Amino acid sequence: MRTHYENLQITETAGAEVIRAAYKVLAQKWHPDKNLEQSAKADRNFKIITSSFEVLSDPVLRKKYDDSLSAKRSAEAVDKAPESAPEAPTMTPSDKPTEVRSRTLRKPLWAFGAIVLVVVLITSIFLTGPIKTTSTHSQAETSIYPIAPPMPVSTSVAVPAAVSIAPAPAPVIPPAAVKTGPVVAGPGEGLLSISFTNICWTQVSDADGKVLFNGLKRPGESLLVAAKLPLEVRLGYTPGAQVAFNGYPVDTKPFATGETARLKLGQ
């Protein structure tokens, strides 16, 4: 959901003058009388812009709106917090596998059997003399070894480490048709320079009707264009723009209608 600040294309720390200037520019751009071909869209955007300006231009309404916006963002941050992981169940001695208990109980039986065997052999030696083992069969009968306990089998499964996949690089979008770097007018072209002291929507078109720039300029920014004559320039807030053509300043007042202006240079 867009905020009132996003509707006016300003930051949340913008002052009253910036809010008023941004509203004037956008109101001029989306006024229904100037957008007859898309009147429904223009009417909807004009109402949104006006509603946002009414809230942000009133200090009391803006304070209430900022508080509600902060509360909403805090609630969303709490909702997105990860839930605590459940504790792993503890295993009591009675829950151990039967196989482990059976191996534990088998060791005393082996020891007891070995002791009994030793006692029987000693008794036989004293009573009948030493036992001679002359065959493989007798050796097998007199050689008794305890069975080694089975080796424990590990049931853990190695889990491969997660493979980190780098995101695909974002496509490079070419800049606008405005020339960058040193701008020099060629044959049949004119050099347009605009310096901005306030927020001003600006549109520049060449002799073929090609739009070279269309957007919002802020204080301290500038625009330098060299293109085929004549050049058509539209300004949304004339007092915030200083225009020069081929190195000479241009008086925009004769071309202004209210705070907007439409110029044709190089005719």
Confirm whether pTM is higher than 0.85. Answer: no
Q: In whole angstroms, how large is the CA radius of gyration of the chain?
A: 44
pLDDT score of 131 more than 90: no
Q: What is the pLDDT of residue 150?
A: 54
Q: What is the pLDDT of residues 153-198, one digit of tens each?
A: 554 545 445 445 555 554 444 444 444 456 777 888 989 999 999 9
pLDDT score of 80 more than 90: no
Please state the rounded mean pLDDT for residues 16-22: 92
Q: What is the pLDDT of residues 213-265, one digit of tens each?
A: 999 999 999 999 999 999 999 999 989 999 999 999 999 989 999 889 999 99
Among 8-17, 36-45, 55-64, 91-100, the range scoring the smallest mean pLDDT is 91-100
Please state the rounded mean pLDDT for residues 145-152: 52
Long-range contacts of 100-105 (CB under 8 A, 24+ apart): 103/149, 103/150
How many CA atoms, within 13 angstroms, populate the side-chain half-sphere of residue 182? 2
Q: What is the pLDDT of residue 184?
A: 79
Among 77-91, 92-106, 120-134, the range scoring the smallest mean pLDDT is 92-106
Q: Which residue has the tokens 């065959």?
A: 135
